[in-house]
Amino acid sequence: MSDFLKTIVDAKKIEVANLYKNIGLETFQNKYPLAKKPSNKNSFYKALKKTGLSLIAEVKKASPSKGVIRKDFEPVQLAKDFEDMGAAAISVLTEKDFFLGSSEYLKNIKEQVRIPVLRKDFIIDPIQVYEAKDIGADAVLLIKAILDNQTCQMLLSLTNSLGLDVLLEIHNEEELEQIKKLENVSIVGINNRNLTTFEVDINTAPQLKAKGLRYFNSDVCFVAESGYQNQGELNGLCEEEFDGILIGEGLALNKGLFN
């Protein structure tokens, strides 16, 4: 794990401890009992599993590398604009210390859009999955780089039992090898950003997807993440038969990128 990720995870552990102290896991468990056959009427997976390249448009105020991306940040209006322009789903940053996100952003957006909403955060503990359910998320992001396989499998199974989808994010071939051993993987996100150097190489996604096809059947969705700035790059993803693309900063800089 890079020093940057460790810093975020350490801060997240404090946040998790406060959730246990102020709300408690049992409170969430009583409110949301696990189902043997859970259903998600507003399925994030189904939104991606359509013909063509589906856009996951990200509501993102800031990043550690770029600082504030949108000075005129209005999360609900932004999400509605993305829905109107044809986004298949909305991704909402809820990490508050490094990305200036908020769970309130997701709650408010969920009340105003009809398409599925992904909680994008650094999830390391079951109580965060329950919290995601509680604030209205249809799916959560799990980042393999911060999770060992045992923890990742536990969070995958819990999330599915709560009727939520999982976007399981990898960054390199080592993580790809690790996730092939997991069950219940339905959406694989391939992030082009190197989490150690922060450099972006948009060749990463197609290369890892080609290797991933050896391990996963055709039901698994593949999503490309980070670094896309023009239509030609999106056309390349269509040729590579990606199911979806997650764009944050690219849309902040060019709202017409996906038109």
Mode of pairing for the β-strands spanning 139-143 and 165-170: parallel
From the candidates 58, 95, 131, 249, which is the catalytic residue?
Answer: 58
Count of alpha carbons within 13 angstroms of residue 181, beta-carbon side: 12
Query: What's the CATH code of the domain at 159?
Result: 3.20.20.70
If residue 140 lies in a helix (H) or strand (E), which one and from where to where?
strand 139-143
Res 151: pLDDT? 98
The answer to whether 191 is a known catalytic residue is yes
The contacts of residue 221 (CB under 8 Å, 6+ apart) are 45, 48, 49, 186, 187, 188, 243, 244
Res 150: pLDDT? 97
- Looking at the chain, the whole-number percentage of residues with pLDDT higher than 70 is 94
Task: Report the candidate in 168, 151, 135, 133 with the shortest Cα–Cα distance to residue 246.
Answer: 168
Residue 102 covered by a domain: yes
Res 47: pLDDT? 95
HEC string of 29-75 equals: HHHCCCCCCCCCCCCHHHHHCCCCCEEEEEECCEECCCEECCCCCCH
Res 116: pLDDT? 97
Residue 29 covered by a domain: no
The contacts of residue 175 (CB under 8 Å, 6+ apart) are 144, 145
Residues in the chain: 259
Please give the DSSP secondary-structure letter assigned to residue 88: S
Q: How far is residue 124's CA from residue 162's CA, in Å, rounded to a whole number?
A: 16
Res 95: pLDDT? 96
Res 217: pLDDT? 84
From the candidates 54, 186, 192, 226, which is the catalytic residue?
Answer: 226
From the candidates 169, 175, 192, 249, which is the catalytic residue?
Answer: 169
- Torsion angles phi and psi, residue 247, rounded to 5: -125, 130
Residue 69 covered by a domain: yes
- Looking at the DSSP bridge assignments, the partners of residue 116 are none
Residue 57 covered by a domain: yes
Environment class of 131 (CB within 10 Å of its CB; exposed 0-12, middle 13-18, buried 19+): buried
Residue 37 covered by a domain: no
The answer to whether 226 is a known catalytic residue is yes
User: How many distinct structural domains can be found in the chain?
Assistant: 1
The answer to whether 133 is a known catalytic residue is no
The answer to whether 174 is a known catalytic residue is no
Residue 38 covered by a domain: no
Handedness of CA 97, 17, 148, 159 (dihedral sign): negative
pTM here is 0.94
Res 78: pLDDT? 93
The answer to whether 60 is a known catalytic residue is yes
Res 5: pLDDT? 87
From the candidates 12, 42, 60, 160, which is the catalytic residue?
Answer: 60
From the candidates 15, 131, 175, 225, which is the catalytic residue?
Answer: 225
Environment class of 216 (CB within 10 Å of its CB; exposed 0-12, middle 13-18, buried 19+): middle
Please check whether residue 224 is in contact with residue 237, taking contact to mean a CB–CB distance below 8 angstroms.
Answer: yes
Enclosing domain of residue 104: 3-23+44-253
Res 199: pLDDT? 86
Residues of the chain where predicted confidence (pLDDT) is lower than 50: none
Residue 28 covered by a domain: no
Residue 31 covered by a domain: no
Res 103: pLDDT? 97
